[in-house]
């Protein structure tokens, strides 16, 4: 199944408009703390080349049941069946 590429960008824009609402879709008791950047730099190890930043769609710092954690919501434009 192939979905229009616009689906991905529209979902990301909608998420960024109200990330707390999307977080609550998955976990009603979650507390939204803050939205994080879409590019995550890896930790640089001495003597090794810097790795490319990891790209994420929607990364949120949240609290669920007194535990702070990262929640990553990814939008997919293609459904992949793995066997």
Neighbours of 3 (CB within 10 A): 12
Query: Could you tell me whether strands 58-64 and 31-35 are parallel, antiparallel, or unpaired per DSSP bridges?
Result: antiparallel
pLDDT digits (tens, 9 = 90+) for 17-44: 899 998 998 899 999 999 988 777 777 7
Higher pLDDT, 38 or 78: 38
Please check whether residue 24 is in contact with residue 30, taking contact to mean a CB–CB distance below 8 angstroms.
yes
Which among 53, 62, 54, 59 is positioned nearest to 15, based on CA atoms?
Answer: 59
Strand partners, 60: 35, 71
């Amino acid at each position: 199944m192939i979905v229009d590429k616009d689906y991905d960008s529209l979902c990301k824009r909608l998420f960024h408009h109200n990330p707390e609402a999307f977080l609550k879709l998955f976990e009603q008791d979650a507390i939204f703390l803050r939205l994080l950047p879409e590019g995550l730099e890896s930790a640089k190890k001495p003597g090794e080349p810097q790795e490319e930043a990891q790209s994420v769609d929607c990364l949120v710092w949240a609290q669920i049941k007194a535990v702070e954690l990262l929640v990553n919501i990814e939008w997919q434009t293609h459904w992949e069946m793995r066997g």
